[in-house]
Structure 1
Amino acid sequence: MPPREIHRVGERGAADWYTSLPPITRGLLTCYFATGLGAYFGVLPLQYLYHSWPLIFKGLPQVWRLLTAYSFLGAPSLRWLFKLVWLVQYGGSYESAKFAHNTADGITCLGVGMMTGLVLDLLSWLCEAFIPPVFSRGFHASSIIFMFLYLWSKQNPEAQVSLFGFVNLNGKHLPFAFLLIDLLVGEDVWGDALGILMGHVYWFLTHAYPLATGRHVIRTPQWLSRACLQYGIGRVPVAAVDMVHPSDVRFRAFQGRGRRLAD
């Protein structure tokens, strides 16, 4: 399946285009755009957001850094803009196809990827006496984007993609082509490589392993599905309605409009 078409703002309006994005993609885009502008104008306290194991393990644990490490993509630049486009085009396409009827599954995917990234970061940090800490980074937002790029490529391996209008390649090669471009222009590619590993771990646990063994090791918690239903986040499968108690104020399956018949 080709990437989801990104309509021009002039065709639909910026607000319509923004609200049409799937919820996880829209949330990440908003976060990276806001933090990028905050860094550009010097109002974002990056010293309290970056990831550092010593700050988490020593003294008063600053555990919020485990989450905020994924909140900052960088200050506005051409590379920053390209990655936002990749997030919308490929991450949004993957989310729309894979999690169109259950946003809770998409949040689980994001959570598994983030935990995988933190585990690999921790192992890299613990082994820095023997090997360079290649995955130990202050921020991992770029890894999230490459995770979705990789998952899109696994879902659309034969899709034809034009790389900047010059080279045509199959979808399965796209994340590695972007990684190679970053390498050629002198950018740090270890964050990109970490994202590919994060995506592969999720794909293996939810596709390859269940296909080979018949067992599922990744399951979306029911409380998360209930929360998405309660707060109207994305679209929830019909089966999830059974999870809602009839006393819930949002439960309206058998309530009429209260009109009295005329005498």
Structure 2
Amino acid sequence: MALELALREYMDIPVVTRVYITACVVTTLAVQLDIVAPFDLYFNPWLIISKFQVWRILTCFCFFGTVGFSFFFNMLFTFRYCRMLEENFYAYRTADFLALFLYGGTLMLIMGCFVHLLFLGQALTIMLVYIWSRRNPHVRLNFFGLITFNAPYLPWVLFTFSVILGSSFMVDFVGIACGHFYYFMEDVFPYQPGGFKVLITPRFLYVHL
């Protein structure tokens, strides 16, 4: 009975969120069990091009480090904001939500070539948080019971938190930059005088979803 309930809850998670979170958990467990090494997962343009290790394009988004506080913290934020975006803004628009991942992920990979980021999962999380926060400007949030602020400040609070903890701030910065790019091109520019929709969802996504 408990297993059926858990399975039902799992299947109730929107499909893109469900698949991505599952991929992250499976990848982390594979590393934890020494089935695969992080060395085989990180983003390396040279290995992708010269050795045809194309899986790195995806795996660099799915590994958040070994099981620990950082992993659970990232999974919590990724699950929460990815799910809220998918349910509230992309309900019955799976192709459009995948296009968000496609455009954002592509931009992160390009930026990753220049700032030498090995893993981009945290940047993707920050991007999702940024987009959600800009679309919910009047929502009030409380961060660990310490401070209360409007949603658009959340990415910058997380950025500051990363700096305080000594983490690489560049990962968060890339996520914020990609999130702003998507938000501006999707929610701002098309509605300006003379504006038009730039980020068109590829037709093949509609065909297969």
CA contact (8 A) 2:112 2:118 kept: no
Match for residue 65 of structure 2 among 69, 74, 83: 74
* Matches of 1:141 and 1:20, distance apart in 2: 23
Superposition pairs of residues 39-188 of structure 1, within 5 angstroms: 39-57=31-49, 59-122=50-113, 124=114, 135-188=115-168
Amino acid corresponding to residue 54 of structure 1 in structure 2: W
Q: CA RMSD in A?
A: 1.8
- Fraction of identical pairs, as percent: 27
Q: In 2, Cα distance between the equivalents of 1:155 and 1:17?
A: 27
In 1, are the aligned partners of 2:60 and 2:119 still within 8 Å (CA)?
Answer: yes
Q: Which residue of 2 aligns with 1:221?
A: 202
**Aligned residue type for 1:29:** I
**Aligned-partner SS, 2:148:** strand
Confirm or deny: 8 A CA contact 1:39 1:75 kept in the other structure: yes
| Contact residue 116 and residue 201 of structure 1 kept, 8 A | no
Give the structure with the larger helix fraction.
Answer: 2
* CA distance in structure 1 between the partners assigned to 2:108 and 2:52 by the alignment: 19
Question: 1:145 deviation in Å?
Answer: 0.7
How far off its partner does 1:165 sit?
A: 2.2
How many pairs are equivalent?
A: 206
- Paired letter, 1:87: T
SS for the counterpart of 2:162 is helix
How far apart in 1 are the matches of 2:88 and 2:61?
24
- Equivalent-residue separation in structure 2 for 1:221 and 1:64 (angstroms): 21
Q: What is the Cα deviation at residue 106 of structure 1?
A: 0.3
1:45 is displaced (CA, Å) by 3.3
2: CA distance between counterparts of 1:82 and 1:45? 22
Aligned partner of residue 196 in structure 2, secondary structure: coil
Unaligned regions of 5+ residues in structure 1, if any?
1-9, 125-134, 229-263
Shift of 1:64: 2.9
Q: Looking at CA atoms only, which structure, 1 or 2, has the larger radius of gyration?
A: 1
1:16-43 deviations in Å (ceiling 9; x for gaps): 3322211111111111111111111211
Give the alignment partner of residue 13 of structure 2, picking from 18, 21, 32.
21
